[in-house]
Amino acid sequence: MIIVIQCAAGKQDHAGHLQTRDGRNVMFVAKPDAAPANTGQLFARPDDVSDTGKSWRTVLHEYSAAPGANLLGLLPAWRLYRNPAYRMLADHCGTDCLYILSAGWGLIRADFLTPDYDITFSSDRKVEPFKRRDRREVFEDFSLPPGIDDDIVFFGGRGYIPLFCRLTANVQGARTIFYAGNTLSGDVAPGCRLRRYERRFTNWHYQCARHYVEGRLPV
């Protein structure tokens, strides 16, 4: 069984950053051109070209694969987010069977070294526009490696369901999506089993994940 949970805005204060050649931290956002001016750091999209000539996504992939002493201090994805639900799930199924669905990076395994970023699908009015990724906006998102035939369970908001479906479309196992709020029709997530979880409230998916770990939500 593979568990997937959506990412979160709240990240650790000591989260590391990728850096430019001149030593500036890179903050990844959805619309860098709309970000506030800041000479101390560079705003960029994950698929923008870095000052090495490679995309930042490629730079990150290569760094995470061979971090050496990890001088940039990047955290594995399960430790990047503040909410304890990520640690709970890592303890429950192991980092090799836990993935985070990131609005910036796609599907990343829990042990993938991940820099600080601020990209979301949230439609909350409090979210600054330069951080919001449109659901139709195409990134070169990371996806599951080929050959996976495990069943997959996903905990996440409606804004993340289309990306989850796209990045797991070739999986052979059953895909189950837990969602909250009004009943969804099957055409929202073709090929997936939809399981409604109570009413919708802020961060409901953390409680849902906890109930799953406790055995209160059979798939």
pLDDT digits (tens, 9 = 90+) for 58-89: 999 999 999 999 999 999 999 999 999 999 99
**Structural domain includes residue 219:** no
**Structural domain includes residue 145:** yes
Q: How many helices (H) and strands (E) does the chain have?
A: 5, 11
Q: Hey, what are 184's tokens?
A: 């969804």
Q: Pairing state of beta strands 75-76 and 113-114? A: antiparallel
Please, which pLDDT band fits residue 135 given cuts at 50, 70 and 90? confident
| pLDDT at position 38 | 80
**Structural domain includes residue 48:** no
Q: What is the spatial distance between Cα 177 and Cα 59, in angstroms, rounded to a whole number?
A: 32
**Structural domain includes residue 51:** no
**Structural domain includes residue 139:** yes
Q: Hey, what are 153's tokens?
A: 């369970």
Residue 183 in this model has a pLDDT that exceeds 90: no
Residue pLDDT, tens place only, 80-126: 999 999 999 999 999 999 999 999 999 999 999 999 999 999 888 89
**Which residues neighbour 44 within 8 Å (Cβ) at sequence distance 6 or greater?**
26, 27, 28, 29, 32, 50, 56
Total domains in the fold of the chain: 1
Could you tell me the residue range of the domain that residue 135 belongs to?
2-12+75-213
> Is 22 buried (19+), middle (13-18) or exposed (0-12) by CB count in 10 A?
exposed
**Structural domain includes residue 100:** yes
**Structural domain includes residue 79:** yes
| Residues forming beta bridges with residue 178, ordered by sequence position | 155, 195
Question: Phi and psi dihedrals of 132, rounded to 5?
Answer: -90, 120
**For residues 92 and 138, which has the higher predicted lDDT (pLDDT)?**
92
**Structural domain includes residue 133:** yes
SS3 of 103-119: the string is CCCEEEECCCEECCEEC
